[in-house]
Structure 1
Amino acid sequence: MSERGMSVRELADAVNDAVGRLTGRPAVTSERTVYRWLSGQNRWPQARQRLALEAVTGLSAVRLGFVPRGKQHDPVRLEEGSDVERRRFLGAAASTTAAVTISLTPNASARPSRVGTADVIRLRAGIERLVALDDERGGHGLEHVALAGAAEALGLQERAATQRVRQRLFALATDYTAQAAWSRIDAGQLDGVEARLERALTLAGLAQDSERSMQVWNLRAMLARQRRHHHEAVAAAEAGLATAVARRSPVHASLAHARTAVCLAHSGQARPALRHLARAEDKLTKADLQQPRSSWLVFYGPAELHSLTAIVHDVVGRPAEAEAASHHALAELGPAYRRNRAHTLARLALAQLHQGDIEQACTTSGEVFDVMAGTALPGRLRLLLGDFQRDLLARAPRPMAHEWTDRYRTQWSGS
């Protein structure tokens, strides 16, 4: 429940929806029943509830922590009903589990007339898969899938069972639309991104979700900075900092301060940038990073803050501090964040180059291609390597600069 951000009421609704799909009859799982599961008072739910839980979560009842009664250890054994009903129920359970855990867009003819929490969970799983792909190889190429997810969420909200489900679907449509915008930003294809972000901000308003609003302002700041509209980038970052979620959540506040610091540094305001960086560090020390977070924010923690710190220090002319921060970021980054590791290595190479350590900078930049081997380089990473090449040509002996260009031209242009 924590991983999926579900309340007791939402889990009860999801189980009832799943039982209704599987049997064609409404179910009456209550919040009290869920509390009995959580407390261990009921250690083995009724058969239909077990199968519904498995359909909703994609995990077996035993994996969920339930204990079979007596000597029976088959978590999907039905304890009641005829053999015909049992086979029909199990077959339906298998198909529903597949829809919830695998398919982003189920067959339209199989959709229920009433849209509930199970649909929210399925769509949330879809955005989590997109975020995982983005972490592994970059967001480029995911735009069309993300837009399809947004369209489905908006289509389903018209048949939402409750206002809460409707708002959650609007929030998911925001997530998918923001992911589509990020896909273009990461690819370095900035045309049309602003329209996507305007749409995402509208959807966040319909969802009445300040966290999604901050998500969009964070991307707008990144877009403006990439376009070198630095004052606009600062304004967008400050708008994210002013959201309700940034005021109440230390982890959100930390990211908002760090993003503001980066934008201020690029606008030539070094001292305010460093002040915001210090606030970002302070806020992160107060954050409970073990608490579940929205999929778009999972990336943020000590590693990302060190990466953003490296950018700020390098831009304001403190390359030694930038190099140290980059090393800290690389030490903290998990193996799933392959694209982020490559990006941090490129920033590290720039910091080394700006200190005059040309040979080491060339070696470090070469590691970017090793990390991303087998995957096309995102456009944003290509642009950063372009910055490295330009600075290398300006600072290094011509033979060394040309040797770097010749060595990596094929990988760079063909990645």
Structure 2
Amino acid sequence: MEGNASLSNAIGESGLKQAELAEAVNDFLCANGVEGTVSDRTVRNWLTGKTRWPHPRQREALEAVFGCTAEELGFSPPTERPTIEPETSVRRRNFLASTAVVAAAPILDSRPTSVGTSDVIRLRSGLDALTALDASRGGHEDLERSALAGAEEALDKVRQAASQRIRQRLYSVAANYLSTAAWAAIDGRQLGRAQHRLDRALYLAGMAKDPVVELRVWNSYAMLAHQRDSLTDAVDAGYAAQATTIARRDPFYASLAHARTAVAHATLGDRQATIRSLGYAEEALGKATDDETRPSWVGFYGFAELTAMTAIARDRIGDSAEAEAASHRALSGIPKPFKRNRALAAARLALTQVHQRELDPACRSASEVFGLMSGHPIPGRMRSLLGDFYRDLITLAPDASIAREWGDRYRSEWSRA
């Protein structure tokens, strides 16, 4: 029996799991006055090809969820195709039309509409686009504004949701948009705005019962606390991330939480705790499995990013040679689309080198930052890091001509915002 590859691909692209697709179909059916009886087994029958042409109402729901025809989803009608009930066809057209009107111009029609999984999928795709933009050029005000608009749209749709499950997903999407806005503010060193966004995002994560976005918020809290020199708060935020349900269940997220805690320990100067947390992070990541359903925001994390965070922690506890080696490994492993992270790793490499009084290599490494960020403003967090580099450079070698030359050459690029 041949499986349904088209449906499988559509499910994969949407980020839904089989159980979630069953719920989405049932949500649509219930919103149209029909009892939803679709189960995991029903979905498996669709995927394996055992059911080649679902019931008309189920086809209608599938088409509404994915925004395409049943045939495009890989289903084939029998030789003599059953006649679709006229009222069912009309109801489907009305549902799709109302969804389009809500998305394009909600102010034009005040009639009640039903918001379902297709709306959640569309909003999530907007998050993916913002994540890719952040990876390339870093946090900036346009990104922050776009993320806030996405959060507002998701929250506006909550009252129109077809079910509690859809409301929870909308809260999750809104929390992720607010987390994106907060991250843009952190990267731009707009700390007051970041705090406000994170507070709201944590509340919405609770409403959504979403441990992944909860961990995301605590991860950002740790970084914000570090920028504010609230070092014990950074450690506690790392521990809060470790305590989330997803970190206890999935070693991938546990690794990120331990790595963030290690950096916080290092900033406090706790060498033993730093090395212990780095060990936990590496061990957990070694146990993690590839999972394509993880959200795009966490796509930056892997062995290369863990190595970059190890370089930060090692440098802060005085292991500059080990930190330099880790920075080189990170730069060779961080994917090219993550330009901002590569630029940060180059700046960290420069710091490890200047701390060993390797002035020429340090200046060359710091100069690479501007090439990596060419065409884009330097985010505030990166400008601050370059400031740390230049301060250490002139402190350790105040009479070195290369130090003055670096400052004279790159001052204008360094300050571009």
Per the normalisation by structure 1, the TM-score is 0.84
Residue 281 of structure 2: aligned partner = 280
Cα separation, 1, equivalents of 2:219 and 2:130:
18
Measured after TM superposition, the shift of residue 26 of structure 1 is 7.6
Residue 402 of structure 1: aligned partner = 404
Instruction: Assess, with a 3 A threshold, how the Cα gap between structure 1 residues 403 and 44 changes in structure 2: closer, same or farther.
Output: farther
Residue 107 of structure 1: aligned partner = 105
Residue 344 of structure 1: aligned partner = 345
SS at match of 1:192: helix
Measured after TM superposition, the shift of residue 294 of structure 1 is 2.2
Instruction: Describe how 1:219-230 pairs up with structure 2 within 5 A.
Output: 219-230=220-231
Q: 2:201 matched to 1:200? A: yes
Do 1:15 and 1:29's aligned partners in 2 also have CA atoms closer than 8 Å?
no
Residue 50 of structure 2: aligned partner = 41
Aligned AA (1:34): V
Cα separation, 2, equivalents of 1:372 and 1:149:
26
Residue 233 of structure 2: aligned partner = 232
Measured after TM superposition, the shift of residue 106 of structure 1 is 3.2
Measured after TM superposition, the shift of residue 270 of structure 1 is 1.3
Do 1:174 and 1:203's aligned partners in 2 also have CA atoms closer than 8 Å?
yes
Residue 11 of structure 1: aligned partner = 21
Cα separation, 1, equivalents of 2:23 and 2:246:
27
Instruction: Assess, with a 3 A threshold, how the Cα gap between structure 1 residues 29 and 124 changes in structure 2: closer, same or farther.
Output: farther
Cα separation, 2, equivalents of 1:347 and 1:156:
43
Residue 138 of structure 2: aligned partner = 138
Instruction: Describe how 1:307-346 pairs up with structure 2 within 5 A.
Output: 307-346=308-347
Indicate the RMSD between aligned Cα atoms, in angstroms.
Answer: 3.5
Residue 256 of structure 2: aligned partner = 255
Residue 74 of structure 1: aligned partner = none
SS at match of 1:298: helix
Measured after TM superposition, the shift of residue 60 of structure 1 is 8.5
Cα separation, 2, equivalents of 1:28 and 1:205:
27
- What are the superposed Cα offsets for residues 152-193 of structure 1, whole Å, 9 maximum, x if unpaired? 222211222222111111111111111111110001111232
Q: 2:291 matched to 1:290? A: yes
Do 2:112 and 2:160's aligned partners in 1 also have CA atoms closer than 8 Å?
no
Measured after TM superposition, the shift of residue 414 of structure 1 is 2.7
- What are the superposed Cα offsets for residues 352-406 of structure 1, whole Å, 9 maximum, x if unpaired? 1112211111111111111111111111111111111111111234321111011
Do 2:117 and 2:166's aligned partners in 1 also have CA atoms closer than 8 Å?
yes
Instruction: Describe how 1:144-223 pairs up with structure 2 within 5 A.
Output: 144-223=145-224
Structure 2 segments unaligned to the other structure (5+ residues): 1-10
Cα separation, 2, equivalents of 1:175 and 1:273:
29
Q: 2:38 matched to 1:30? A: yes
Instruction: Assess, with a 3 A threshold, how the Cα gap between structure 1 residues 180 and 359 changes in structure 2: closer, same or farther.
Output: same
Cα separation, 1, equivalents of 2:376 and 2:281:
33
Measured after TM superposition, the shift of residue 409 of structure 1 is 1.6
Deviates more, 1:6-15 or 1:115-124: 6-15
Instruction: Assess, with a 3 A threshold, how the Cα gap between structure 1 residues 14 and 356 changes in structure 2: closer, same or farther.
Output: same
Residue 75 of structure 1: aligned partner = none
SS at match of 1:224: helix
Aligned AA (1:41): K
Cα separation, 1, equivalents of 2:261 and 2:394:
31
Instruction: Assess, with a 3 A threshold, how the Cα gap between structure 1 residues 13 and 209 changes in structure 2: closer, same or farther.
Output: closer
- What are the superposed Cα offsets for residues 265-319 of structure 1, whole Å, 9 maximum, x if unpaired? 0011111111100000000000013342123322211111111101001111111
Aligned AA (1:281): E
Q: How many residues align?
A: 400
Cα separation, 2, equivalents of 1:137 and 1:49:
43
Residue 383 of structure 2: aligned partner = 382
SS at match of 2:104: coil
Residue 116 of structure 1: aligned partner = 116
Measured after TM superposition, the shift of residue 212 of structure 1 is 2.1
Instruction: Describe how 1:57-76 pairs up with structure 2 within 5 A.
Output: 57=66, 66=74
Do 1:17 and 1:27's aligned partners in 2 also have CA atoms closer than 8 Å?
no
Measured after TM superposition, the shift of residue 51 of structure 1 is 8.9
Cα separation, 1, equivalents of 2:343 and 2:82:
54
Instruction: Describe how 1:295-306 pairs up with structure 2 within 5 A.
Output: 295-306=296-307
Do 1:184 and 1:190's aligned partners in 2 also have CA atoms closer than 8 Å?
yes
Measured after TM superposition, the shift of residue 94 of structure 1 is 10
Instruction: Assess, with a 3 A threshold, how the Cα gap between structure 1 residues 400 and 62 changes in structure 2: closer, same or farther.
Output: farther
Cα separation, 1, equivalents of 2:373 and 2:147:
23
Do 1:171 and 1:204's aligned partners in 2 also have CA atoms closer than 8 Å?
yes
Cα separation, 2, equivalents of 1:408 and 1:61:
58
Do 2:246 and 2:253's aligned partners in 1 also have CA atoms closer than 8 Å?
yes
SS at match of 1:203: helix
Cα separation, 1, equivalents of 2:50 and 2:405:
70
- What are the superposed Cα offsets for residues 303-351 of structure 1, whole Å, 9 maximum, x if unpaired? 1111110100111111111111112212221122111111111111111
Aligned AA (2:119): D
Residue 370 of structure 1: aligned partner = 371
Cα separation, 2, equivalents of 1:81 and 1:213:
45
Cα separation, 2, equivalents of 1:333 and 1:51:
44
